[in-house]
Amino acid sequence: MSRIIGIDLGTTNSCAAVVEGLDQKVKLIPYKGGEYTIPSIYAVDDKGNELVGHEAKRQWQLNPKNTIYGSKRLMGKSYDPDTVRRIHDYFFYEVHEATGTDEVMVGIADKRLALPQVASKILQKIQGVASDYLQAPIDRAVVTVPAYFNDRQRQAVKEAGAIVGLNILRIINEPTAAALAFGVGRGMSTETIAIFDLGGGTFDMSIIEIRDRVFEVIATGGDIFLGGVDFDNRLIDWVLESFETHHPGVDLRSDPIAMQRIKDLAERSKIDLTQRKECAFNIPFITMTPDGLPLDIDLKLTREILEGRTADLVGRTIDTCRRVCADADIDPKSLDHVLLVGGMTRMPAVQAAVTGFFGQPPSKQVNPDEAVAIGAAMFAYSLEDDSNLRVQLLDVIPMAIGIANASGQLHEIFERNEAVPNLKRLTFTTSVNNQKDLQMRIYQGDDEHVASNNELLGEFTFSGIRLAEAGTVKVEVEFNLSQDGILSMSAHDKDTGAEMEKSVALGVRKYE
């Protein structure tokens, strides 16, 4: 039987780990050259070659329109013009709505790919690197996702694995994985911790109680459109504004290669300002005047500018922390530890905000870049037949799941922070004589007042209802939430026990 690896499938970078050896230590799986992370980037070059990871990143400045990055944010999401506009402000690949569905697709090299197909390219690369390292085929994994991923996004990750023959045995939340990396083997009494996870593309915050090897999530929250790329984008805006001040009428946004060079340096400068108070922001020959004269970017960037431009983003993370602590009914200053996960948590302003809110400095006991992959590997090892590590994860759903009622409101079936796995049964009656079908629209989100403001998970139709007068046939619908937080449904005639035939719009797609 092949080994089970743990994969942190990140927005910016991905990482894999495995438990191996007689000492049963977690080891990060290295890529050639000794790198432990693989950029979550997929590209097609001008010769039609597919590139993934470091190879794709090396050419993205010169090939921005055929280089896909940051796409994890769009996985499982419905096509939304406002979201697409925000993507197009800083990313240069094409985003489309799939014909006949609301699915988001991206354009690359005259092809259109669904987001699970893009993610499958990253997973396949990780799968190959792990197989080379372990000298054995890899076809099973535990994969982490943001805690705030909804049902459709989790389904999309499962689909991505299936495309490349990778059986994703479990999907676990990134903060929960980080808690495993922190808590397994400590042999402590009960502790309650906060996981503050600010990565390249998403933010999560979870309150988790650890009782030996039982990890129980009390409450969770987050934002899939808040992460390092948003901090980068604020710097990009500052650069463009400063450049236009010196060169009025010169619009760099219309030049994808120039924008990609700015984006690349913005990310590196942001990282530099973690340790330094200021740095030069210089890009020679960024564009040319109508007369053919070269123009440079020559600016001085300070930590003060970065912090001023991103103060509201840091504030949004604290707003989420405040809500999650309220949901958990816990005083933030009473927690035993606060763990920082994700590269953006190295930013001094973020650390200061976290310290101020929780009343204690964050713990240094986990590596922000490695904790999620390490925790995923630990849980993967616990699933091995010969493993002596047994852990129990008690997780929750991040957002309510419900159906649209007659007034357009969300009738909650599962409330936010309800435990998974979970099962509920609701009974519906026919509303017209000889009704043949029962239709319902299932949503997931935090807006209880307007159902359509939430994410539509699917339009379910149960057919084959026994013909009878209105109100006489009772249909019992079973809503089953898996341990991965994925919803399945079935229905039967409550009086006869006859199963209903189900069809689903927005269901699982098949990919070539």
Q: For residues 95 and 84, is the Cβ–Cβ distance under 8 A?
A: yes
- Assigned token pair, 361: 């400095």
Q: Within 10 A of 250 (CB to CB), how many other CB atoms are there?
A: 18
494 is annotated as an active-site residue: no
d(CA 342, CA 368): 5
Quote the tokens at residue 423: 């099962």
Position 70: which residue type? G
Of the residues 174, 204, 230, 232, which is catalytic? 174
CB 307 within 8 A of CB 197: no
Residue 164: beta bridge partners? none
Helix (H) or strand (E) holding 129: helix 115-134
CA distance 126 to 138: 10
| 197 in active site | yes
Calpha distance 468→201 (Å, rounded): 53
The span from the CA of 375 to the CA of 155, in Å, is 21
List 151, 159, 197, 204, catalytic entry: 197
**Which residues face 479 on adjacent strands?**
424, 489
The residue type at 162 = A
Catalytic residue, chosen from 8, 103, 267, 370, is 8
Residues β-bridged to residue 459: 441, 505
Question: Do 164 and 127 meet the contact criterion of CB atoms below 8 Å apart?
Answer: yes
Q: In sequence order, what are the residues at sequence separation of 6 or more whose Cβ sits closer than 8 angstroms to the Cβ of residue 249?
A: none
CB neighbours of 260 closer than 8 A, spacing ≥ 6?
A: 60, 61, 64, 92
296 included as an active-site residue: no
Residue in the block written with tokens 């101020």: 356
CA distance 9 to 172: 11
Beta strands in 292-336 (DSSP E): 294-302
Nearest C-alpha neighbor of 155 from the set 115, 111, 125:
115
**CB 141 within 8 Å of CB 4:** yes
- Tokens linked to 117: 């197909």
Computed over its alpha carbons, how large is the radius of gyration of the chain? 24
Q: Beta-strand (E) ranges in 126-277?
A: 140-145, 167-173, 191-198, 203-211, 214-223
Alpha helices per DSSP H over 164-227: 174-183
Active-site residue (options: 72, 77, 121, 263): 72
Q: Does 8 qualify as catalytic in the annotation?
A: yes
Residue 7 contacts residue 373 (beta carbons within 8 Å): yes
Residue 443's CB is within 10 A of a number of other CB atoms, namely 26
Q: Going edge to edge, which strands form the sheet with 50-52? A: 50-52, 41-44, 67-69
3-state secondary structure of 174: helix
Q: Which residues are catalytic?
A: 8, 72, 174, 197
